[in-house]
Amino acid sequence: MIEAIAARLAAYQPSVIEPVGARAAVLLPLYQRDGELRVVLTKRSETVANHKGEISFPGGAVEEHDADSIATALREAEEEIGLAPGHVRIIGRLDDLITISDYHVTAHVGVIETTRSPYIWRPQAHEVAEVIEVPIAHLLDVANLIEFPVQRNGETVTREGYRFGEHVIWGATGRMLRNFLEAAVIGLDGTVFDVPDEPSSSVNAPPAAGLPGTPA
């Protein structure tokens, strides 16, 4: 499946935004473990300045010494979760996006060497509370794509996200994840799930732990 995803991403033409505002890059790591292909994310700690407790991909602001956005994504992944750059093969790029905090984010997809499984994560305690491995099959199950209300500027608005246990993956991270699934996974031979145009209502779903009150 990994090579099929790599082929899809090689043919994908990501939406590239002309440089604007502060630049950042993230890594969407793919990881084979126990016969399942997974996506690696982090839960941000309660000591970071922004987006406390939210789910995100490893990544951060571009620094002057970074050769390009791939270098930024790999550097940040090593700093945040101990993922060595030499253990990752970059296989594609997703659409650029602008976050609510006005960061211009470039997302790269990378595959962790299968010989490194199970990977020994070394989360940076100040930034990362938990490393989360989410199976692709879980994300493709329509029951896990939910809607929920959040407060923004004094108004209640509806957002969508992916539920994984007590976590909800939403905001910019959720949009990048959906971009990846639609561009590289859905429709592959053997894929038996699909992501609907409209997520399921979560009115009767129990609240997710750590769900913030303002959208990302």
In the chain, what are the domains?
2-136 (3.90.79.10)
Task: Evaluate whether 91 touches 6 at the Cβ level (below 8 Å).
Answer: yes
Predicted local distance difference test score (pLDDT) of residue 84: 98
- Is residue 30 within 8 A of residue 89, CB to CB? The reply is no
pTM: 0.86
Tell me what pLDDT residue 210 has: 41
Looking at residue 154, its pLDDT comes to 83
What is the dihedral sign for C-alpha 188, 189, 190, 195? Answer: positive
The per-residue pLDDT string of the chain (216 residues; one tens digit each, 9 = 90 and over) reads: 999 999 999 999 999 998 878 999 999 999 999 999 999 999 987 666 565 668 999 999 999 999 999 999 999 999 999 999 999 999 999 999 998 888 999 999 999 999 999 999 999 988 899 999 999 999 999 999 999 888 777 888 888 999 999 999 999 999 999 999 999 999 886 554 444 455 555 433 434 444 443 334
d(C-alpha 27, C-alpha 4), whole Å: 19
